[in-house]
């Protein structure tokens, strides 16, 4: 289970707006990815219903045994019959550092994408991301923005871009 959060790495109480299941088949060898929309309604073991991106945080807030990862594993098992063996969670800084350590990643941009993001390193505190169709090399910060963009696209588009960045990272 691959989780992305905008909270700091040492902060447990956080929503996971990126939830992706990686299924690894060593016999092929192959990796399949399944993204869960962050607003997908799921049922908790208590019977309560809420968005899937709240489960991780709720696991810690309710002192669930094993915290957020354990509660999310149970919710995925009960709602979808999916067993989670392992999980990894990354925050913005970890994501940027991983991509930059690789020297960036190349993705095939299919549709124009324009968005503006907060950027502490920019003189005006924000930076525009303007991408056009074709193969594009992205730095860690650009890859994060590309994967997070919501301005003119859907959560399904966002999930597709997240998977593209992850696959580009794996290729590298």
Other C-beta atoms closer than 10 Å to the C-beta of 110 total 13
pTM to 2 decimal places: 0.87
Tens-digit pLDDT string for the chain (172 aa)? 999 987 665 666 678 989 999 999 999 988 899 999 999 999 999 999 999 999 999 999 999 999 999 999 999 999 999 999 999 999 999 999 999 999 999 999 999 999 998 888 889 999 999 999 999 999 999 999 999 998 778 889 999 999 999 999 999 9
So what's the pLDDT on residue 165? 97
């Amino acid at each position: 289970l691959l989780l992305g959060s905008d909270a700091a790495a040492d902060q447990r109480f956080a929503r996971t707006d990126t939830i992706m299941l990686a299924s690894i088949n060593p016999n092929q060898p192959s990796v399949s990815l399944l993204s869960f929309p962050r607003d997908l309604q799921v049922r908790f073991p208590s019977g309560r219903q809420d968005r899937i991106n709240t489960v991780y945080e709720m696991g810690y807030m309710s002192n669930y045994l094993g915290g957020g990862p354990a509660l999310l594993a149970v919710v995925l098992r009960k709602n979808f019959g999916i067993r989670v063996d392992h999980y990894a969670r990354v925050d913005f800084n970890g994501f940027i550092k991983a991509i930059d350590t690789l020297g960036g990643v190349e993705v095939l941009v299919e549709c124009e994408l324009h968005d503006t993001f907060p950027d502490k390193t920019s003189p005006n505190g924000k930076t525009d991301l303007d991408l056009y169709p074709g193969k594009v090399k992205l730095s860690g910060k650009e890859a994060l923005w590309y994967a997070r963009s919501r301005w003119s696209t859907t959560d399904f588009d966002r999930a597709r871009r997240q998977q593209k960045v992850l696959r580009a990272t794996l290729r590298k």
